[in-house]
Structure 1
Amino acid sequence: MPFYQFTVTTGSISAQRKAEIARAITTTHCQITGAPSDYVSCSFVEVPPGNLFLAGEAAPGTRMVGLIRRRSEELKRELLLKLAQAWSSATGEPITAVVMFLVDIPGYQAFENGVLLPEADQDALATGRG
């Protein structure tokens, strides 16, 4: 269920290293949450230079919005910090060059494989997996 969408500037390091970023994000999500890797989706949207803004001014960098099922505040804090570090390792850029947002939703607000999803802590019961 986790869905990580990146908005990257065309030609940027992030745009050139999508596969590496996706692998790093997937690995990190699974290590922190215990979810299987086939649960993790990553998407990249490339925009031309001058299409990302900060304080009303064009700004370089990468933006990420991650949707996950409800988790504890402690886990979300750890996950977000580790995702930023994973992105930095995959791109070679400092974590100050990325802006990330993590949004959690109840399981029933996600639909996958023909069903509404259970809460994250119910995965092992519903699927036999952790």
Structure 2
Amino acid sequence: MTYVLSDALDRVDREAVWRLLSTEAYWGRWRSREDVERQLDGAWRVVGAYVEPTGELVGFARAVSDAVAFAYLADVIVDPAHRGAGLGRRIVATMIDEGPGADFRWTLFTGDAHGLYRQYGFTAPDETAMVRPGRQG
């Protein structure tokens, strides 16, 4: 199968993103559809993975950033039917290494994909990092 990655926000199938995040993402199921829409609208950058030639969205990530030096990677997800093809790695590489944030300091939260993110230089925070947990959990 052939996949194409794109950072065009207007190409994102919002229904597909909602379906993936509301059914497959353990980290944010508390979000409403309206929350996800606001997050898409406010994203600094998105990366979608699309099946060619149909254009079906089967992977996604978004980032928020100050557009100068810092970015937060969020909602990296691949449809279960398309896992195992390296899409997660391609999405992360496209987002953090192949775009306008390649020189940024990146951060993220994950409960299960530490091995993936270590491949891209993510490590445990040092003594300069602090986190205030959200009230949603």
TM-score by length of structure 1 reads: 0.31
Higher alpha-carbon Rg: 1
Q: Does 1 or 2 have the higher relative contact order (CA < 8 Å, sep 6+)?
A: 1
